[in-house]
Amino acid sequence: MIPVQRGEEHLKVLLRRSAIERRVRDIARQISRDYRGERIHLIGVLKGACIFLSDLVRHIAGDVSLDFMAVSSYGKGKETSGQVRLQKDLDSSIEGRHVILVEDILDTGLTLSYLRRILLQRRPATFKIAALLDKPSRRLKKDIHADYLGFKIPNEFVVGYGLDYAERFRNLKDVCILSLPPE
């Protein structure tokens, strides 16, 4: 990795847009096969998952509806505060529905454990998780995994394709490692 100079942010491509596009298509194909003949209810976790979700949904064949939730845990920095708060709840009931929760990244697992717990209480017919990225080395909650996963990545802070640092970089087409100058 190129050394970071003081006073500069540095971005290094980790996953190219073409690789992401291929993988997202594969996941959509797999979902289409797994749910053939069923209605799928995709729930996106705002805001990070919005790009992944919008690409994914257009490659899923069949009957799909969408809803969104918003949570906060990270605040403005790179480290989780460890506390997950629900900022926006779903618009409609998920009882009896085939739910796939769509998230940008599985890191410590705190966010998805929290969301899984509150969503399972609402008795969906089935419940699965789709995540674009997974940083397995960071996991604090051992019992959570993505049923559909894009890529396992090393323990680096990444931005782009929906992922942010202090609300920036969500619009990058590639997933990039962000290095910040030392404080």
Q: What is the rounded distance in angstroms from the CA atom of residue 22 to the CA atom of residue 24?
A: 6
Question: Should residue 74 be labelled a site residue for ligand IMP when binding is judged by CB under 6 A?
Answer: yes
Alpha-carbon distances, residue 159 vs 41, 89, 167 (angstroms): 27, 25, 10
Q: What is the rounded distance in angstroms from the CA atom of residue 6 to the CA atom of residue 183?
A: 9
Name which position in 73, 116, 145, 173 contacts ligand IMP (CB under 6 A): 73
Is-catalytic flag, 147? Answer: no
DSSP H or E stretch at residue 68 = strand 64-72
* CA Rg value for the chain: 16
Name which position in 14, 24, 40, 48 contacts Mg ion (CB under 5 A): 48
Q: What is the rounded distance in angstroms from the CA atom of residue 175 to the CA atom of residue 156?
A: 11
Residues 75/81, Cβ–Cβ less than 8 Å: yes
Residues numbered 100 to 119 that lie near Mg ion (CB under 5 A) are 104
Name which position in 11, 13, 34, 157 contacts ligand IMP (CB under 6 A): 157
In whole angstroms, the minimum distance from the beta carbon of 178 to ligand IMP comes to 8
Binding mask 97-126 for ligand IMP (x = CB under 6 A): ------xxxxxxxxxx--------------
Choosing from 107, 134, 164, 174, which is the catalytic residue?
Answer: 107
Which residues are near ligand IMP by CB under 6 A? 48, 73-74, 80, 103-112, 157-159, 163
